[in-house]
């Protein structure tokens, strides 16, 4: 479960406290590639007229210390405070956004047994 609190809301139709339930999963295609999916169902009934629950699908490629991620979503925000209450895209109408991330793992200390 997630709780997003907003001190200032745009209209009286918006709740200050928004409760949501989220679920996500990852399916490994190979040792270094996967497909991810995530869905958040907002329990609050006082939402904007153009609001839709957040749904995202992504493809990951791991290469050494890098992970390249390509996502398609109806949400523009990347953190819960933005995408839980602010998803206005409709998948059925093609209102989707494409996102790309690169992450890198840095090691500051060599693990024990590390070969030269």
> Could you say which DSSP state residue 93 is in?
G
Which tokens hold the place of 44?
């609050």
Q: What is the pTM of this model?
A: 0.79
pLDDT tens for each residue of 92-113:
898 899 999 999 988 787 777 6
Cα angle 85, 87, 89; round to 5: 160
- Tokens 């590390």 identify what position? 114
Q: What is the pLDDT of residue 10?
A: 80
pLDDT in tens, 28-81: 999 999 999 999 999 988 777 788 899 999 999 999 889 999 999 999 888 888
């Amino acid at each position: 479960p997630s709780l997003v609190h907003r001190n200032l809301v745009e209209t009286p139709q918006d709740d200050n406290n928004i409760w949501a339930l989220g679920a996500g999963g990852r399916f490994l295609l190979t040792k270094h590639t996967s497909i991810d999916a995530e869905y958040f169902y907002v329990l609050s009934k006082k939402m904007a007229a153009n609001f839709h629950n957040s749904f995202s699908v992504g493809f990951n490629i791991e290469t050494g210390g890098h992970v390249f991620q390509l996502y398609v979503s109806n949400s523009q925000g990347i953190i819960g405070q933005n995408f839980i209450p602010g998803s206005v895209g409709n998948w059925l109408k093609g209102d989707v956004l494409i996102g790309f991330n690169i992450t890198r793992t840095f090691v500051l200390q060599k693990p024990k047994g590390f070969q030269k």
